[in-house]
Structure 1
Amino acid sequence: MKREIRELEGGLFILPGAQALVELTKSDKAEDVNYGAAPLTSGGLKIAPWGKNNLQPQEMLALIYSNHLKPQLITTARDFLLGSRIGCFTRKVVEGKIVVEPVIDPEMEAWYESIDGDSTMQSLAYNLEGFANYFSVFSLASKNYVEGIQSFDATVARALVTTKARPDRYALHHDWRNFRTDEAKILPAYDPLNPSKFGECLLHGRDWTPGQKYYDVPPYWGSKMWTQVSNKVPRFHNSGLDNGYNLKYHIKIPQGYFDQFGETPEKRKEAELALMGAMNEMLSGVENADKAFVSKFAVDATGKPLPGWEIVPIENKMSDKAYDSVNTQANIAHTSAHGIDPSLAGIDTGGKFGGSGSEKRISYQLHIALRTPQKRKILLKTLQAAHKISGFNPAHFFGFEDIDITTIADNPTGKQKVVNSSM
């Protein structure tokens, strides 16, 4: 019975006799699931690894840019998040309702331009969409003025292990594969209770996934396996076009054909290998599609054909529709995981593409209304902190301006600027 037991990956065992599947799990000893590995200790620092090898953001990036849809989905989500521009706004109460209105504030606008705010916000938004975390570093010229904000990618920043509820120090390093303590820059976390406490500090923008103390997890990471499947489909077709899709032909050669090339087995084997190479070049590759094969055969005294060469095509149903179906399923999984209507990202999932103009407009409006408010609050924390430190007009605040898609009947241009009322 023991010989019938089959061991699979991941601690799984099949017991045919008992008709059971057994999984060996880890012990119930508490394990910190915040970062999935032991702290990286070096030179007195204890780094909270991001992923088991501390390279999860790098792995995410490699997976994203090995895929034909992920970059466009993340970029589209980022663009929706940023709206048409960052502007200055104020709130008023009109007939018992809070109304957000745009204002002109030269001081805030000049400061935003001086720090190259658009580039900073683009980087922060991409990191938030791509990694569910962003890291903005404040540089204070004085206790009451932020002279610069720099966005550091998720591939660069790591939190230091702490017993406090939230990280209070961070390390920046250019190459976590070859970490050196003397090359790391250690920064304190931004303190919302004392914004001007540090001349340089780091604000970590993120949502709060349960059980993840140090780094958040992007929702799309649940589609990791589908992304890996999706990445294999084009590689399969690319290889198939170069080499023929899997096993494509059954070539039948008469037993005595190679006798003519020599009396010794070595010479006949040499001729056989040479022929195999020539056949491979002839029948594989896109440039050889639809080639014809010509052979000669002899007949006996009665006119019956003697055995000759024969090439029999082998049907391979996995080379087209089956793989296309898998690819379509993967495409749908991508868009679902990112929470984006595929037509808004310009992605064809195999069904009715795009829908009518009104359907697209409604889809866009729903995305802005339902998908962006919470992420925008996270993104605006950086500008809110700078606003507080620099002592700008407390009645004014930074916010997002959107483009509302209209009908031609409502507006000849088909669009109009609107204020995001969720701010």
Structure 2
Amino acid sequence: MEVRRSGNFGFVDPGNGSLYSFDISGRGKGWEPSSIMLNHNRNTCFTRKMSVAGYDIVPMGDNNDMPGEVMRLLDRFYAGEGILGKIAGLQWGDGPRFYEDAIDDTDNRFYKKWVLAPDIESDMSSWDYRICMHRCLVDLTHMQGFFIKFVRNRAPRIGGRGKLLRLEHIPYQRARLLYPPPGKNDPEGIVVGDFPFPDPEYMERYPMFDPAEPFRYPVSARYYNIYSFCKDFVSTPRFLGAFDWLEIAGTLAPLLHNYNLNSSALSLHIESPQGYWDKVEERLKSVCRKRGETYTVKMLEDYKDECMEKFAGGITGMKNVGKYMHTTRFWSDEANDFEGWKVTPIDKKVKDYIEAQIRISNKADAAATSGFGIDPVLANLILENKLSSGSEKLYSIKVYNASETAIPDMILCKPVQEYINANWPGTDIRIGLYRNVVSQEENVSPGNRMKENI
């Protein structure tokens, strides 16, 4: 509880997010809400050089903490990880499978001929390539890129045949590209540490993996990404432009939660009669005379603060809902009017406030799905209280698979394909993500329909 007062007018802050004004003279002008303006200065520099622990790196944002900012932003937005999880699920489909390029002679059309490759499957299963690819996919959906490590065997050290042993996913927030040396356009290495504030003793530097010379280094790494416009080295999240909307959506729930907790006692304007305080002053002077102390104005001021704290404490908070308060009014000959304590509720337009917040929430949800690049139908978001039909979902899935999967598939599968090409040179085997074609129920034979198999 805190009281801030200037003369006979002031505010009581009960510490629960509410604010109460009081006017001892009974001539207050009421209560006004305070406003806070947040200044967002989010610059996304991914091109300048930054020195960290002796390494010149390409920073991820001005604070070199874009992955951390995205994580915190999505943690606060109720649908963030759910939407990105849905995108990852749509991208993943049934997971990686092997295929060969083929041409349908009837209409001269390219298609993927899915095949089995037991030797390659057995080799890559030894390092659990599916888990590795899925972790890379999570980074790709969040940040439009991922880091991966290539580990080679030791045979080339004694003149033997080189072979890649495994791929390892590097958590996105722990890796940074080394800034290109003078005269070079591309980074030549990756440094791994506990960014954005790494301990130099635990930082590791890896040379850049080169598909043309896959066995050159014992351990190397590479950054794979979907190119972002005007970003030379590191891609930015696809939903970067929706960050402010995501922040609004993320702060809406705690705002309403705190509002519900604190709105049980309406914001009040408390008025007290001057005659009450005149009598208090007389009592204080009498006590001082009996004690042999010198009366000071501060004694009355301190008493006013203590009195207002107790008074406000009895009418605030959820525990006091339903309680009543009794006040008395008496005739003052000096004022020629009735005087007494008066508590006036402040109309805060609760209904208008809640409806406005709901409209803001709907706008934030729409902006978020637009930024993420997914139809609200597929994101499981209900906008404007509208439920989507099954045919709308089916159409959205088909459009998504036709327009949003080819490029992410190419980037995600590229390091694994380079692994296959290095260890099985000349092979025609390719790796891609397999997806079943979704059909309408009426086009599925009765025995195979979903309702018959539940």
TM-score range, shorter-chain basis? Answer: 0.7 to 0.9
Please state if 1:66 is matched with 2:84. Answer: no
TM-score of the two chains, using structure 1 as the length reference: 0.80
- Structure 2 vs 1, CA of residues 119 and 280 (structure 1 numbering), >3 Å: closer, same or farther? farther
Aligned with residue 386 of structure 1, among 399, 416, 419: 419
Q: Structure 1 residue 289: deviation in Å?
A: 4.2
Which residue of structure 1 aligns with residue 344 of structure 2?
Answer: 312
Residue of structure 2 in register with 1:46 after alignment: 56
Q: Any idea what SS the aligned residue of 1:121 has?
A: helix
Alpha-carbon distance in 1 for matches of 2:265, 2:205: 53
How high is the sequence identity, in percent, across the aligned residues? 19
Separation in 2 of the partners of 1:281 and 1:117? 62
User: Residue in 2 aligned with 1:346?
Assistant: 380
| 1:226 aligns to 2:226 (yes or no) | no
Structure 2 residue 124 is the aligned partner of structure 1 residue 112: yes
Q: What's 1:171 paired with?
A: 191
**Superposed CA offset, 1:44-85 (max 9, x none):** x32222222322222222222122222222222112111122
**Alpha carbons 2:266, 2:345 under 8 Å: kept:** no
Structure number with greater Rg is 2
Letter of the 2:348 counterpart: N
- CA drift of 1:214 comes to 1.9
How far does the alpha carbon of each residue in 1:229-268 deviate from its partner, in whole angstroms, 9 at most, with x for none?
Answer: 2233223223323334998222233333345556236565
Find the aligned partners of 1:245 and 1:168 in 2 and give their Cα distance. 61
Residue 87 of structure 1, aligned match among 82, 91, 97: 97
Is the contact made by 2:47 and 2:233 (CA closer than 8 Å) also made in structure 1?
no
User: 8 Å contact 2:377–2:392 — kept in the other structure?
Assistant: no
Root mean square deviation of aligned Cα: 3.1
Structure 1 pair 406–282 and aligned structure 2 pair: CA distance change class (3 A) = farther
Q: 1:393 to 1:110 in 2, by over 3 A?
A: farther
Partners of 2:176 and 2:185 lie apart in 1 by 16
For structure 1, the 5+ residue unaligned runs are 1-7, 11-32, 416-423
By relative contact order (CA 8 Å, sep 6+), the higher-ranking structure is 2
Q: Does 1:158 align with 2:169?
A: no
| Correspondence 1:136-215 to 2 at 5 A | 136-141=148-153, 143-162=161-180, 163-180=183-200, 182-215=201-234
Residue 287 of structure 1 deviates from its aligned partner by 4.3
2:432 to 399, 402, 407: 399
Q: 1:36 touches 1:51 (CA, 8 Å); kept in 2? A: no
- Seen in structure 2, the aligned counterparts of structure 1 residues 109 and 280 have a Cα distance that, compared at 3 Å, is farther
| Residues in 1 aligned to 2:428 and 2:96: alpha-carbon distance in whole angstroms | 17
State the one-letter code of the partner of 1:342: P
2:248 touches 2:364 (CA, 8 Å); kept in 1?
yes
2: CA distance, partners of 1:118 / 1:284: 57
Distance 2:125 2:315 in 1: 62
Quick one: distance in 1 between partners of 2:366 and 2:323? 38
After TM superposition, give the deviation of residue 386 of structure 1 in Å: 1.0
Question: 1 CA distance for matches of 2:441 and 2:353?
Answer: 46
CA deviations 1:186-233 (Å, max 9, x no partner) are 111121222232222112110222332221112201112222222332
The Cα of 1:346 is off from its aligned counterpart by 2.1
Aligned partners of 1:88 and 1:399 also within 8 Å = yes
Alignment-derived partner of residue 242 in structure 1: 261
Cα distance change, pair 9–312 in 1 and its aligned pair in 2 (3 A): closer
The alpha carbon displacement at 1:173 in A equals 0.9
Gaps of 5+ in 2: 1-36, 156-160, 285-296
Alpha-carbon shift at residue 339 of structure 1 (Å) = 1.0
Give the total of aligned pairs.
Answer: 381
> CA deviation digits over 1:268-310, x for unaligned, max 9?
5455434433444444444444544443445799xx9933333
SS of the equivalent of 1:129 reads helix
Contact kept in structure 1, 2:164 and 2:215, CA below 8 Å: no
User: 1:367 corresponds to which residue?
Assistant: 400
C-alpha deviations, 1:85-131, integer Å up to 9, x for none? 21122232222222223222211222232111222112101111111
- Residue 276 of structure 1 corresponds to which residue in structure 2? 308
Quote the offset at 1:385 in angstroms: 1.0
- CA distance 1:279–1:346, shift in 2 (3 Å): farther
SS at match of 1:405: coil
User: Is contact 1:64-1:71 (8 Å) kept?
Assistant: yes
Partner of 1:98, secondary structure, is strand
State whether residues 45 and 62 of structure 2, in contact with CA within 8 Å, keep that contact through their aligned partners in structure 1: no
Counterparts of 1:191 and 1:66, CA distance in 2: 39
Indicate the SS of the match to 1:65. Answer: helix
Q: Is the 8 A contact 1:37 1:52 kept in 2?
A: no
Query: Using the alignment, how far apart are the partners of 2:120 and 2:235 within structure 1?
Result: 31
